[in-house]
Amino acid sequence: MMEQVLSIFLLIPLLGYACSLVIKPRSENSISLLAAGTVTLQLVSGLVYVAVWLYKGRPMIDHKDIVIYKSAGYEFFLDLHFDSITAVYLLIGALLSTLVTIYSRYYMHREAGYKRFFNTLHFFLLGYMITIFSGNFETLFIGWEILGLASFLLIAFYRDRYLPVKNAVKVFSIYRIGDVGIILAMWMSHHLFAENITFLKLTNNELVHHQLLQHTGVGIFISLMLLLSAAAKSAQLPFTSWLPRAMEGPTPSSAIFYGSLSVHLGLFLMMRTYPLWQHQLSVRLLTAFMGMCTALVATGIARVQSSVKSQIAYASAAQIGIMFVEVAAGWQVLALIHFAGNAFLRTYQLLVSPSVVSYLIREQVYEYEPQQKSIEGYLPQKLQYALYLLCLKEWHLDSWGYKYAWNPLKWAGRQLNFLNLRRVLVFYTIAFSGGLLALRFSSSLPHTARYWWPVLLAFIGLLMVLKSFTERKKARMSWTLVAMNHTWIALAIAFNESVSVHQIAMYLSGVLVSWAIGFACLRRLKQLEGTVNLDQFHGYSWEHPKIAFVFLLACLGMAGFPISPTFIGEDLVFTHIHEDQPWLAGLTALSLIIDGLAIIRIYARIFLGPHAKSVYEMGYRNS
């Protein structure tokens, strides 16, 4: 009976989101009451369920809910799981969501995007519930993707401003790295366990120990990919600098996302997969080292920030770093208690942050006391100054990211500036025809050629999406290059003998339909505006909201969001990459990272930011 009830926790926010779509934007009272009713119902349901679960002796519950796709040797299904970790995240999430939603009813009053804010809040709650109730990697990845999209939409809530949109794209780029980390972990776990492994089976120490004993390197690879995803989601080094940038959204969304719930989901991922990596000493040491370094660095940065939200963001990242140390040490109960305390504290701090200036003025005037000597005072003076400057510059985390990650990608893409749409189409037709011909006679190719042909095709696809990522003129060409990248990936995977035409069609169906819809939107926009380029943010969502919404749906379908068969297709693609094909897996993963960035960049530059026709001065980098 308790297994069947689990899906209710997913249906409540889903129904709330569906109902909120039909309410008129001006009906603030109806919108906020529906949101408050949804989160309150979620809280009451959670309290009742946890009480019954405790009464029955805290059993570990696992329920295979829906089988979405099944073929020989592969099954894509939704699995729901409930244990003490889920119980804590459920109660904390439901309670804080209720408090923040009630607070937002008044804080967001008369905002132009009032309905949009509460719709996205429902969407976030849906993704959060799917994530914490997930019983396997596939289910977790669905919630993970929904949370990433909700984050992007709420950071860019003030979409007529430059910095919120710029920072939303930056945060999404970090999230995309985490997404592909989970995809690679799923890929190798399929090979390790020869099935779609559930988290319940991971608690079988005999099964896990037997597999890891025979495939030690594979186990370490999976654990490192999970750690990469967790670090990206929870703002651990080297990804810490995105967290204060995410505070550009409304204060309530900053509180619930980056103070209390979403930012702690990387910790949730590590706790949920702890049985997989608990016996891998190198991974545990690396996790603890990363958490400790984050705690030290983020604490120093927080103490020199001039913005209240930035102080809270870095302080929260420091506490989460300590939680990673606790999980690595095997102290999961302590980490859960720490999570609850940090979530409540940061939510409170962020909700009162708009009034903190008046509090500080009162304290300075009436309650001022000279600061006592801190621990830094015992350090040599030169070291004090060096640490102060490093913290003031945030340890150059952004600069290192640009220098060693994004700038090399942009440089590689700029080497392809000689390509235009006609040359791309000619090259694509000739090269793709050659690839199809090689596929037709692949059985007669030497073994070495059969190994490197898919790698070459995946590399060509990577070049296509690099060009799309750095294109600054023609939006339609950039959009088309992303679709071409997917076709190159499909052709590369088709060289593996176990891939069927039906599976390739499933993967490409969502891509091609989304490409056609998006291309039609861009063509229509060009007819209305005369030109559509990527040289700046144009803010056309203000003038053409319907086109912007349809194009966003096309972007989600193209990026493999769980609204099209491409979402399942991406998982299928990786299951057909063999263990001895690391080059193919690496190039495919890199392509998926960059195509997500290219897609969201196209959407942001065309439909978000200051309106291109505005006659007023706009704040840009120095605003």
pLDDT of residue 362: 58
> How many whole angstroms separate alpha carbon 133 and alpha carbon 20?
23
What sign results for the dihedral spanned by CA atoms 384, 388, 391, 397?
negative
Same domain as 294, residue 217: yes
Maximum CA extent, the chain: 86
Instruction: For residues 259-279, give the mean pLDDT.
Output: 90
370 assigned to some structural domain: no
Tokens representing 120?
């996205």
**C-alpha angle 224/226/231, rounded to 5°?**
90
316 residue type, one letter: S
Q: What is the pLDDT of residues 50-96, one digit of tens each?
A: 999 999 888 888 888 788 877 776 778 888 999 999 999 999 999 99
Same domain as 434, residue 328: no
Q: What are phi and psi of 261, to 5 degrees?
A: -110, -70
Mean pLDDT computed over every residue of the chain: 85
Tokens representing 58?
């805290």
396 assigned to some structural domain: no
Same domain as 351, residue 437: no
Instruction: For residues 313-318, give the mean pLDDT.
Output: 91
234 assigned to some structural domain: yes
398 assigned to some structural domain: no
pLDDT band at residue 514 using 50, 70 and 90 as cut-offs = very high
User: In 3D, which of 243, 233, 245, 249 has the Cα closest to residue 155?
Assistant: 249
Same domain as 430, residue 347: no
Residue 419 has pLDDT above 80, yes or no: no
361 assigned to some structural domain: no
Q: What is the pLDDT of residues 320-351, one digit of tens each?
A: 999 999 999 989 999 999 999 999 998 888 88
Same domain as 422, residue 346: no
Per the structure, the count of domains in the chain is: 2
Which helix H or strand E contains 446, and what residues bound it? none
Instruction: For residues 370-386, give the mean pLDDT.
Output: 74
pLDDT of residue 428: 85
Query: What range defines the domain where residue 141 resides?
Result: 2-355
